[in-house]
A and B are shown apart, each in its own frame.
Chain A
Amino acid sequence: MKLLFVEDQEELASGVRNYFLKEGDICEVATSLSKATDKLYSFSYDVLLLDLMLPDGDGLSLLKIVKDNWPDMGVVIVSAKNALNDKLLGLELGADDYLPKPFHLAELNARANAVYRRRKQEGKQKLTFNEIELNLENHEVKINETTIELTKKEYELLHYFMVNQNRLLTKQSIAEHLWGDYMDTMDSFDFVYQHIKNLRKKIIQAGGNDYLKTMYGAGYKMKNER
């Protein structure tokens, strides 16, 4: 996946960039609208991560240019302007998703991935991790070719782990991914535990391995036992 992150805060940009690089993706950074435009005309990207407040203008104007010239490019708006207007306007102008700042890198990764996969319909509708296979189209989960029944939340949870393999996902990040800002994250930590427990049980029952590791009570990591 090749990303362009348009963000004037270089520190944030480099953090995001490193995260994606570790993931095996290519992420480039543009710190202004003009730089972003230059890059867009020179190279091709799969997904554009767009901040709205930029030193030389409003990110929404760039969104229009992108939609006019590269309609296939996925766009995720990443903005601190958590105003409903911007969100609606952004989605109306053709952005695929909207993620308010501050965000978890794992969440950004999951969203960018989802957008990317939705855009590129080239047999990439499946995520696999050893014997676990997740079909993004019909939300089917198979362990060693056997379908297992997961609740909506369990599916979302597994999906979150699958796109963020080998990464520590904090309880907070998981809770926010599953329930958004609806709930007080403090309260929902116990649920995260419950859901992980259930998910683990279902995978093991279907003959899968337990890849979900508890990391010192801070979070969980999906990784190969090695």
Chain B
Amino acid sequence: MNLIIRITILFVLVSLVVFIIGGVISFNIMMREVNFEQRRFLIERLDRMQLRIERKPPKDTLEWTKLKVIPLEKLINERVSFSDTLVMHSQLDRLELHLRLDAIRNVDGKSYLISLYDVIVEADDIRDGLVESLLTLYLILLGTVLILGFLASYFILRPFNLTLEAIKSFSLTKPDQKMQFPTSSVKEFKRLNAFLSEMTSKVQSDYQSLKEFSENASHEIQTPIAIVQSKLEVLIDADNLTEEQIQQISSTQSTIKRLSQLGNALSLLTKIDNKEFINVSSIDLSMTLEHMLEEFRELVELKSIKRIVEVKEGVIIQADPVLIELLLTNLINNAIRHNWEGGNISLSLDEERLSISNSGPELQVSSNELFQRFKKANQSAKSMGLGLAIVKKICDFYDYQIQYHNDADLHTIHIRF
């Protein structure tokens, strides 16, 4: 939900409560004032009546509209009492609530009962009026708040929204990108923008140095390896070496080679993570796969592996050719390496998915650990355990679904595009 709508709704709800409480309070105050005024009005008339009695004391009961004066036989203490009464209203022609004042007044040693009444302002009339006026007021407020809310969200939140737009285009892989945030006179937005510029440039420089580090680390590893490699090669070429010495040098060379491949594989994983493969082009996956299988033909034949290939022609995907080649190489390599002598590999490809299955010994790691780094089916194997991690990383990069399942000793990997 939009921030401004949320604030508006909150404001509207709060003001509703305030209006209800305010209504009750106003009602009570108005009732109090009305009562007070009415009583005062009756008391005033009473006083005027008293003056009149003083001037001309009546002998008998006097009766006018809304007024009755009864001279009493005995002298009684003065008192005033109010009560409500229903009287037929002359114009409205119905019973209306009236306020009635009964008072005993002593004038010249004689008591008179004076009864006065007048039409009362009814509570429900006041309430109705109040509710009506408050409701109108509330609706006006609602309209104003909504209009102002949208105007405010447009004008006041404009720099904020521009900042959001700007941050959306932020990309780590574009090191030259300098984040430009809109200027704003609002202090909070100024602080936000200052913070964001600082943070993005820091993130960029950190990312840059991290990238440089991993590149340099790879470089720094490869160079000493190259030195060792060249020295070993010179050494192994020397005359008068014994067989055992040559064997040892040769095995050292293989180890060195693995170290170098490890460095390359790790730096490749970092590069995919760093989203450095952004060259996207149309790849004829069918053709690439055929080509790849041709590259591996010798290896397959050497292990007497049977191939069942069902590749649909002309499957085109949009991706980086380097990554796709890596993906296929690793998958095929994996299927051959973890296969039996005389086993089989079946490969199928259509627009939806690529499946590769191979026979081979049962896994020694759980299937969900299979795609993690350095998880190997066989810990003693000379593979590095990075092949499937690279496959997974590439699939993640392109949002391909990758699944592994096995049926006895047939292992299958599905990749959905």
Contacts and interface: CB of A to CB of B under 8 A. Distances in A.
A77 B383 CA distance: 29
B250 A185 contact: no
Contacts of B267: 82
Interface string A15-42: 1101100000000000000000000000
Contacts of B233: 15, 19, 104-106, 170, 173
Interface stretch (B2-10, B196-204, B217-225): B217-225
Contacts of B250: 170-172, 217-219
Contact of B298 (A19, A83, A106, A191): A191
Contacts of A167: 237
Interface in B358-417: 382-383
B316 interface: no
A15 B227 contact: yes
Contacts of A191: 298-299, 302
A43 interface: no
B257 A172 contact: yes
Interface residues of A, number: 44
Nearest to A80: B222
Contacts of A100: 222
A149 interface: no
Interface residues of B, number: 43
A187 B302 CA distance: 9
A101 B225 contact: yes
A183 B333 contact: yes
Contacts of A190: 302
- B interface: dominant SS: helix
A103 interface: yes
Contact of A187 (B222, B225, B322, B336): B336
Contact of B219 (A53, A185, A186, A219): A53
Interface string B269-297: 00100000000000000000000000110
A11 to B, nearest CB: 5
Given A15-B234, A80-B218, A104-B229, A217 B247 contact: yes
B382 A186 contact: yes
Given A81-B219, A82-B218, A184-B337, A105 B246 contact: no
B350 interface: no
B226 interface: yes
A14 to B, nearest CB: 9
13 contacts: A11-B231, A15-B234, A19-B234, A53-B219, A80-B223, A83-B215, A101-B223, A102-B260, A153-B298, A168-B246, A187-B336, A218-B246, A219-B236
Top 10 closest A-B pairs, CB basis?
Answer: A80-B222, A15-B230, A102-B226, A218-B250, A101-B226, A216-B243, A102-B229, A102-B225, A80-B219, A101-B222
